[in-house]
């Protein structure tokens, strides 16, 4: 069934804007490495999208360095931060890798496929990039999860309401 084109839609105060504004979804830090450079950023557009096969989708803004690095990367690491580590969310959300080395300001180790893995993450996984899909101002990276770490139980994780006031390192 095709939906008829109704012309321009209102941008401000739309039902969609109100609905997504009410959600409190988890936030992730995504890191990657390619061409001898590593990058990372705070990501809100991310979700599991298939059970079998396992698939996860990450949206990276075309404006940030992590996106540019991920264009030539084979893998992404997806980190879930505990709510007490708002400082790490702020570092990866408000700073740009164009200006500072974010990894010099946090504790990390080289993990699978040489990716930077954040020590303060409550949980993380590494996924192979199997597709890149242009979605407008973001590109969706479809991941095939390979390995990672998850505790038996997860305390509170950082969510959108925890980072709502951050100013992005790059304009959206």
Single pTM value for the model: 0.87
Cα–Cα dist 68/136, whole Å: 15
CA 139 to CA 131: how far, in whole Å?
A: 10
The mean pLDDT of 85-113, rounded to a whole number, is 94
pLDDT at 7 over 70: no
Kindly list the structural domains of the chain, giving each domain's residue range(s) and its CATH number in brackets, ordered by start: 25-158 (2.30.110.10)
Phi, psi dihedral angles at 156 (to 5 degrees) = -60, 135
pLDDT of amino acid 59? 97
Q: How far apart are the C-alpha atoms of 41 and 63, rounded to whole Å?
A: 11
- Record the tokens describing residue 4, joined without a space: 């008829």
Question: What tens digit of pLDDT does each residue of 112-158 get?
Answer: 999 999 999 999 999 999 999 999 999 999 999 999 999 998 888 88
């Amino acid at each position: 069934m095709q939906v008829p084109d109704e012309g321009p839609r209102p941008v401000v105060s739309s039902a969609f804007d109100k609905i997504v504004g009410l959600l409190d979804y988890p936030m992730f830090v995504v890191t990657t490495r390619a061409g001898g450079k590593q990058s990372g950023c705070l990501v809100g557009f991310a979700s599991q999208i298939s059970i079998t096969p396992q698939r996860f989708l990450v949206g990276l803004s075309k404006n940030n360095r992590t996106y540019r690095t991920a264009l030539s990367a084979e893998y992404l690491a997806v980190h879930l931060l505990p709510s007490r580590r708002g400082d790490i969310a702020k570092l990866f959300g408000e700073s740009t890798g164009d200006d500072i080395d974010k990894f010099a300001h946090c504790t990390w180790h080289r993990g699978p496929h040489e990716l930077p893995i954040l020590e303060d993450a409550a949980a993380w996984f590494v996924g192979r990039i199997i597709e890149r899909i242009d979605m407008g101002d973001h590109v969706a990276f479809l991941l095939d999860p390979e390995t990672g770490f998850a505790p038996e139980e997860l305390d509170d994780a950082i969510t959108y309401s925890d980072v709502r006031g951050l100013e992005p390192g790059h304009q959206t």
